[in-house]
Amino acid sequence: MLVREIMTAPAVSIHADAALDDAIELLAGRRITLLPVVDDAEHLVGVISEIDVLRRAVQPDGRARVMPLPESEPIPPHITDIMTKEPHTTTEGADVADLVDVFVSTSIKSLPVVRGEKLIGIVSRSDIIRAFWRSDDDLRDDLVAAFADYGQQAWSIRVTHGVVTIGGTGSARERDVAVAIARSVLGVRRVQVEEAA
């Protein structure tokens, strides 16, 4: 599965000159966790995340403490003051399996998708989850169509909970082609080959 097949495009973004309040409004109103920051040419110059806002915008409440709080620093008015510069990004041709590794090993929930320096979309953990939420019947229909497109109708196809079982006879190369076709269908979780008796 490739990023371009599941990403949200165009991405909700904000201009680098915008006020922090505008970014908070977009994050809260759109229920998103990451907001790409762009310049006039739509080039990605940074991101502002929930964490960036939480670090600076939530001030301690003195009523919850016995000792008086020191004077807190003012909240910066512009997003460029708190945004993350040089953020992690991905490309539209990247393998979603590689993104899963990033999402699992970091606290990142979303990644901007760029073509060169230009923002073209965004991909999130929830986009990946939604891609797997397909019925077996829908997956089988898409698999049958994909196999027909590549002249591979001789293979039998079963789908159970997103796991595809391919049956039939063919050379090792033909099996590899069949497996590659099956893996290219959005929502397929795993592919196994049933050896002919």
Q: Are residues 68 and 110 in the same domain?
A: yes
Q: Over the stretch 54-92, which tens digit does the pLDDT of each residue have?
A: 776 666 666 666 666 566 665 666 788 888 899 999 999
Residues 47 and 92 in one domain: yes
Given 79, 109, 131, the domain boundary residue is 131
Identify whether residues 25 and 69 lie together within a single domain.
yes
20 vs 65, more confident: 20
CATH number, domain containing residue 182: 3.30.1340
Domain span at 48: 3-131
| 177 shares a domain with 151 | yes
Residues 95-107 have pLDDT tens digits of 988 998 899 998 8
Span 111-117, mean pLDDT? 95
CATH number at residue 61: 3.10.580.10
Q: What is the DSSP string of the chain?
A: -BHHHH-BSSPP-EETTSBHHHHHHHHHHHT-SEEEEE-TT-BEEEEEEHHHHHHHH----GGG-SSPPPPPPPPPSBGGGTSBSS---B-TTSBHHHHHHHHHHSS--EEEEEETTEEEEEEEHHHHHHHT---HHHHHHHHHHHHHHTT-TTSEEEEETTEEEEE----HHHHHHHHHHHHTSTT--EEEEE---
Task: Report how many domains make up the chain.
Answer: 2
